[in-house]
Every structure is written in C-alpha cells, then in structure tokens.
Amino acid sequence: MKKLVKISLIVLAILLLSVATMMFIFTNGMEEAKAIQVKSINLNTIEDGEYIGSFDLTRWSNEIKVTIKDHKIIDLEVVDDVLFKMDEITKALFERVIQNQSLDVDIETGATVTSHAYLKAIENALEGKE
C-alpha cells in the first residue's frame, strides 16, 4: 500500500510539473507581446523585390518573406513560423494584408498576439529590419 501511495505521489508531482511548464511556455512574454505596436507602411516607397523580416519574442518569434511588385504586396510567405502555428489564421491574415495592401487589418479573435507578431515581421521586412 505504501508503495502505491509513493508511486501515486510521484505521478502527481510529474503531472503538476508538466502543467506548470506548459503554463510558463504559454504565458512567458505575453504582456510584452500584447504591447506590440505595428506601424503603417507607405508602399509607394518600397521597390520591387523580396524582403525578409523577423520578429523575435519567445514563442511568437517568426520570419516572413514579403514580395513587392509595382509597389504592392503580392505574396507573403512564412520562412520560420511561431512555436504554435495556426495555418488557417495565418492564411486569412496574409490574404487580408494582400487584399487591403496594408498592415492595418482585422485580427482573428484568439490569435491576436500571433497575428501582431506576423504583422511586425512584415513591417520589419519592409523597413529593412531583419
């Protein structure tokens, strides 16, 4: 009986440690990430070409390739994705950026920080910051 109690306590301790680790991963940098400010970009000043930009903050770190033609964003491609990627949300966000030709687009609820991280990487690409 004592052996069963010890094993149960060890399993419980491992589970608690796992939960604490996951909570740390999910929340580490959250306040800083929520404060991300994305500036508007004047596409009239951007020459044709491919630009790489990144944003670096814990699980939201990413790298995006932006293709410009005739002062328009014609393609956005993830080079290095965030830790917990959401392909559907990323695709929808990129479509809005291309459609609006702007970084000032509606953000998916539940993916606000991730969306802002992508937008910041796009901004950094177009401002020449890697």
Q: Each residue of 93-112: pLDDT tens digit?
A: 999 999 999 999 988 777 88
User: Are both 42 and 79 inside the same structural domain?
Assistant: yes
Answer yes or no: do 102 and 118 share one domain: yes
Please tell me whether residues 60 and 116 are part of one structural domain: yes
* Token pair in block for residue 39: 């500036």
Quick one: 71 and 103 in the same domain? yes
108, 76: one domain:
yes
* Strand-by-strand arrangement of the 72-80 sheet: 49-55, 62-69, 72-80
Clarify whether residues 7 and 49 are in a common domain.
no
Give the pLDDT score at 1.
Answer: 74
Six-digit token string for 46: 């951007």
Query: What digits encode the pLDDT tens for the residues 44-83?
Result: 999 999 999 999 998 899 999 999 999 999 999 999 999 8
Query: 76 phi and psi, to 5 degrees?
Result: -130, 130
Write out the residue range of the structural domain in which residue 86 sits: 36-126
Q: Read off the pTM.
A: 0.81
Portion of the chain with pLDDT greater than 70, in percent: 98
On whether both 56 and 120 belong to a single domain, the answer is yes
pLDDT computed for residue 61 by the predictor: 94
Backbone φ and ψ of 50, nearest 5°: -110, 135
> What is the CATH number for 101?
3.90.1010.20
Tell me the DSSP string of 100-125: HTSS-----TT-HHHHHHHHHHHHHH
Domain count, the chain: 2
Tell me how far CA of residue 38 lies from CA of 35, 91, 105, in angstroms.
Answer: 10, 19, 11
Are 73 and 116 found together in one domain? yes
Looking at the structure, do residues 61 and 118 belong to the same domain, yes or no?
A: yes
Dig out the tokens for 87 from the structure: 């392909």
Cα 98–chain centre separation: 17
